[in-house]
């Protein structure tokens, strides 16, 4: 039984039945059996299905957003746009998959030689709780449009949200079992990965769990895409537009209560503007309202689980004990639920906990840099390499720094985000492979060479 806990009040929600081993194998078999028919459809036929699913998501966006608020604490004003974004992703790949996967002619000694992109088979997507709809559809939409069938093993803390996704396919009239929901307890996941009918794996989650998934998939010679944690740096240079930078960096840090892999987690500010920038972000962060995620005026909901709340507080306490200054927040609330106050830590250095570990919550960390070179050095001083930001009015410098930062994506004078049109993923401890964009849709296809004399 999968039992979610409402992070707003700590009360358990209604249980959701999980599958036993035999039921799991049967459901994987359903998706595998559906592959033959689905791969035989053309892009136009697949597009009609994805467009119908998108329409169904939009029709239920308020109900699904409520489920996310109850299961993992996402404020309703963020949940509704997340469902919209998931629908947009489905529509985008309905419109662009055919062009992305068009045959590519290449010169050789043949009369004609080309590469054609064919689906691999049945995929397993292992998903986290922090963006239940968006993270599901950035896996599902390109994979399905490429002709694969998809098994979705969602996080056990969001079982109703996962079922809502499966219901959207059912209500939209999608062919049976092209997308199968797999409500599993975590220990059963290894069996699913090793099932010979699973052709490849997509995983989004922690670095430690990702290593286990990669090891299991590798032992079975199955490709996988890993989108793991991040401790994203954002550089604020002396010539930056500080007001705009403060607006965007605060948004990046606190959206989804700071529970985002690509949030701005280490804000590295050049010395000349360091003090002024702290004033600007403190003003903005101090105005944010924690509260019931079902209320439209709530800016920040609770942390999704108690263990995550307590670990975040440990990181804050260790950082303060090491010499950082806490200008906002930094305490465990006494009321029910798993809230954590908006926290601003300054005077943080590379030896401190909040610099070295990923902080998953509304904790902004400010680090002073002597100059640009020092800022770049600290930006790359991490095991992670997911996203990064740069704020400067010097375009040539920004482009140069973007090439030198070790990350999968860099935003210059803007927010680091995921977009169906652009590839997303990390390097180093943040994983490998890409989701989204023309690169992402080609992760789970067979790039087959055809040579004709």
Percentage of residues of the chain with pLDDT beyond 70? 100
- Structure confidence at residue 186 (pLDDT): 87
Query: Quick count: other Cβ atoms within 10 Å of Cβ 64?
Result: 25
Q: For CA atoms 24, 139, 388, 249, give the dihedral sign.
A: negative
Q: What is the pLDDT of residue 214?
A: 98
Residue 261 annotated as catalytic: yes
Backbone angles phi, psi at 213, to 5 degrees: -60, -45
Helical packing angle, 271-285 and 242-254, nearest 10°: 50
Q: CB of 6 within 8 A of CB of 169?
A: no
**Which part of the chain has CATH 3.40.605.10?**
5-228+428-452
Q: What torsion, rounded to 10 degrees, do the Cα atoms 184, 435, 407, 300 define?
A: -60
pLDDT on residue 66? 98
Packing angle of the helix pair 61-72, 159-171 (nearest 10 deg): 160
Q: Which helix (H) or strand (E) holds 79?
A: helix 76-100
Rounded to an integer, what distance in angstroms lies between the CA atom of residue 297 and that of residue 209? 35
The per-residue pLDDT for 351 is 98
Closest among 440, 20, 29 to 198, alpha carbons compared: 29
Helix (H, G, I), strand (E, B) or coil at 387: strand
Task: Report pLDDT for 348.
Answer: 98
pLDDT for 404:
98
What is the distance between the alpha carbons of residues 349 and 329, in angstroms, rounded to a whole number? 19
* Positive/negative CA dihedral, 208, 214, 217, 220: negative
Instruction: Write down the residue that tokens 């459809």 correspond to.
Output: 41
**Pair type for strands 149-153 and 179-181:** parallel
Q: Where along the chain do the CATH 3.40.309.10 domains lie? A: 233-412
For domain 5-228+428-452, give its CATH number from 3.40.470.10, 3.90.1150.10, 3.40.605.10, 3.40.50.720.
Answer: 3.40.605.10
pLDDT in tens, 128-184: 999 999 999 999 999 999 999 999 999 999 999 999 999 999 999 999 999 999 999
Q: Which secondary structure element, helix H or strand E, spans residue 204, and what is its range?
A: strand 198-204
Q: Indicate which residue of 91, 261, 270, 282 is catalytic.
A: 261
Q: What is the per-residue pLDDT for 335?
A: 85
Residue 411, SS3 per DSSP: strand
227 in active site: yes
Provide the β-strand partners of residue 298: none
Question: In CATH, which superfamily holds the domain spanning 233-412?
Answer: Aldehyde Dehydrogenase; Chain A, domain 2 (3.40.309.10)
User: Consecutive sets of 10 residues in the chain, 453 residues long: mean pLDDT of each?
Assistant: 94 93 97 98 98 98 98 98 98 98 98 98 98 98 98 97 98 98 94 98 96 98 97 98 98 97 97 98 97 96 97 98 98 93 98 98 98 98 98 98 98 98 98 98 98 97
Q: Which of 78, 91, 227, 282 is catalytic?
A: 227
Phi, psi of 285 (to 5 degrees): -65, -35
């Amino acid at each position: 039984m999968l039992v979610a806990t409402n992070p707003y009040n700590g009360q358990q929600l209604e249980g959701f039945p999980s599958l036993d081993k035999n039921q799991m194998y049967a459901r994987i078999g359903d998706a595998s059996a559906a592959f033959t028919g689905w791969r035989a459809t053309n892009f136009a036929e697949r597009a009609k299905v994805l467009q119908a699913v998108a329409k169904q998501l939009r029709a239920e966006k308020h109900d699904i957003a409520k489920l996310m608020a109850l299961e993992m604490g996402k404020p309703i004003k963020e949940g509704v746009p997340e469902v919209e974004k998931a629908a947009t992703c489905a529509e985008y790949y309905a419109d662009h998959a055919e062009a992305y996967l068009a045959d590519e002619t290449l010169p050789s000694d043949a009369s004609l030689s080309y590469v054609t992109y064919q689906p691999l088979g049945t995929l397993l997507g292992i998903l986290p709780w922090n963006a239940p709809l968006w993270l599901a559809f950035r896996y599902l939409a390109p994979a399905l449009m490429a002709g694969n069938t998809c098994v979705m093993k969602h996080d056990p803390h969001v079982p109703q949200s996962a079922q809502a996704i499966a219901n959207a396919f059912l209500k939209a009239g999608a062919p049976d079992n092209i997308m199968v929901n797999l409500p599993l307890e975590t220990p059963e996941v290894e069996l699913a990965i090793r099932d010979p009918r699973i052709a490849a794996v997509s995983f989004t989650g922690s670095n430690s769990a990702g290593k286990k998934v990669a090891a299991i998939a590798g032992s079975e010679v199955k490709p996988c895409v890993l989108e793991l944690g991040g401790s994203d740096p954002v550089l604020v240079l002396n010539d930056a537009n500080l007001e705009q930078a403060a607006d965007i960096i605060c948004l990046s840090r606190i959206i989804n209560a700071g529970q985002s892999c690509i949030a701005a987690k280490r804000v590295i500010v050049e010395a000349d503007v360091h003090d002024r920038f702290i004033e600007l972000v403190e003003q903005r962060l101090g105005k944010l309202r924690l509260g019931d995620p079902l209320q439209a005026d709530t800016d920040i909901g609770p942390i999704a689980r108690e263990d995550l709340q307590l670990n975040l507080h440990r990181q804050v306490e260790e950082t303060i004990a090491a010499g950082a200054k806490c200008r906002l927040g930094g305490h465990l609330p006494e009321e029910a639920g798993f809230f954590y106050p908006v926290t601003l830590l300054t005077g943080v250095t590379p030896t401190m906990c909040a610099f070295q570990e990923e902080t998953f919550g509304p904790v902004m960390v400010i680090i002073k840099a002597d100059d640009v070179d020092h800022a770049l050095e600290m930006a790359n001083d991490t095991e992670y390499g997911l996203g990064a930001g740069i704020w400067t009015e010097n375009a040539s410098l920004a482009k140069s720094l973007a090439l030198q930062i070790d990350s999968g994506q860099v935003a210059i004078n803007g927010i680091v985000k995921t977009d169906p049109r652009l590839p997303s993923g990390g390097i180093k401890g943040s994983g490998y492979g890409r989701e989204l964009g023309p690169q992402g849709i080609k992760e789970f296809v067979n790039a087959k060479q055809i040579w004709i004399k």
